[in-house]
């Protein structure tokens, strides 16, 4: 079986394309990020713990985010961020646990500083019907000032995973739920083959967006960061 190419992403600071494995290393060295950190130190924000997080979909690890979170921010802020960038369809319930389903629930009102230790992985569950599961791994912590006034800063993010049209193999920009759920196909379609595609039962094919929730509970984006 051919080895799947490693997931690629981009540095938010300089735009460079990175592999998932090299992203953290790049962020440590990135000159643009260094500039941002220096500017932060000159600001009048407080010195605090800033937690470095690697977020990934539990089952589709091509979807990942590297974030920084202020120690005084609560998990509510992280939940809001994940909803905005990846998950929100119709206001479902969510929770954080240690140990996944049936694990210990972590109260969403808790502050990062009260829970996080390097190496800890939390599981975020969104929607207890068609559940999206997300792993939040605490990679490290720095003592310093936040680079923005927001509780969370996005550092790097996966690029839209490449998908091939199921009809012709060209790059796909669309996805048909009926193909995926009823016909056991991948459901990816190019701009040509999405025209006149015969399926309607699950609605029209949707444009691919950079979220692991695409197609779950009708999720169709926008998958944009809130800030």
Q: Point out which residues bind Zn ion (CB under 5 A).
A: 11, 13-14, 16, 30, 89-90, 165, 167-168, 170, 176, 178-179, 190, 193, 199, 217
SS3 174: strand
Q: Among 27, 148, 132, which residue's Cα sits nearest to residue 90?
A: 132
Minimum separation from the CB atom of position 39 to Zn ion (A): 15
Closest alpha carbon to 55 in 64, 45, 43: 64
Question: In the complex with Zn ion, which residue's Cβ is closer, 30 or 65?
Answer: 30
Q: Residue 7 CB, nearest distance to Zn ion (Å)?
A: 17
Q: Give whichever of 89 and 108 is closer to Zn ion, judged by the CB atom.
A: 89
Closest CA to 212 of 68, 67, 58: 58
CA distance 51 to 9: 20
Shorter beta-carbon distance to Zn ion: residue 67 or 176: 176
Place of tokens 């009048």: 44
CB of 164 to Zn ion, least distance (A): 8
Q: Is the dihedral of CA 76, 85, 127, 102 positive or negative?
A: negative
State the nearest-atom distance from the C-beta of 32 to Zn ion, in Å.
5
* Cβ distance to Zn ion smaller for residue 13 or 86: 13
* Minimum distance from residue 153 beta carbon to Zn ion (Å): 13
Closest CA to 98 of 120, 117, 66: 120
Residue nearer to Zn ion on the CB measure, 14 or 120 = 14
In a 10 Å sphere around its CB, with 0-12 CB exposed, 13-18 middle and 19+ buried, how is residue 55 labelled?
buried
Beta carbon nearer to Zn ion, 111 or 199: 199
- Adjacent-strand bridge partners of 153: 68
Q: Residue 179 Cβ, how far from Zn ion at the closest point, in Å?
A: 3
The strand pair at 132-144 and 48-57 is best described as antiparallel
Q: Which are the contacts of 178, defined by CB distance < 8 A and separation ≥ 6?
A: 187, 199, 200, 201, 202
């Amino acid at each position: 079986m051919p080895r799947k190419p490693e997931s690629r992403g981009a540095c938010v600071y300089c735009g460079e394309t990175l592999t998932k494995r090299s992203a953290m290393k790049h962020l440590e060295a990135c000159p643009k990020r260094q500039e941002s950190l220096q500017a932060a130190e000159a600001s009048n924000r407080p010195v605090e713990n800033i937690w470095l997080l690697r977020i990934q979909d539990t089952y589709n690890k091509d979807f990942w985010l590297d974030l920084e979170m202020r120690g005084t921010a609560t998990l509510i802020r992280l939940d809001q961020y994940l909803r905005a960038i990846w998950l929100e369809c119709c206001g479902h319930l969510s929770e954080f646990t240690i140990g996944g389903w049936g694990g210990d629930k972590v109260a969403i009102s808790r502050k990062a500083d009260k829970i996080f230790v390097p190496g800890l992985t939390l599981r975020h569950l969104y929607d207890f019907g068609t559940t999206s599961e997300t792993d939040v791994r605490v990679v490290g912590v720095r003592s310093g000032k936040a680079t923005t006034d927001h509780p969370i800063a996005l550092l790097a993010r996966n690029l839209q995973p490449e998908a091939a049209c199921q009809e012709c193999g060209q790059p796909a920009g669309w996805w048909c739920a009926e193909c995926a759920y009823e016909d056991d196909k991948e459901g990816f379609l190019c701009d040509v083959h999405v025209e006149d595609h015969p399926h309607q039962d699950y609605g029209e094919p949707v444009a691919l967006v950079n979220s692991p929730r695409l197609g779950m509970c009708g999720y169709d984006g926008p998958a944009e960061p809130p800030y």
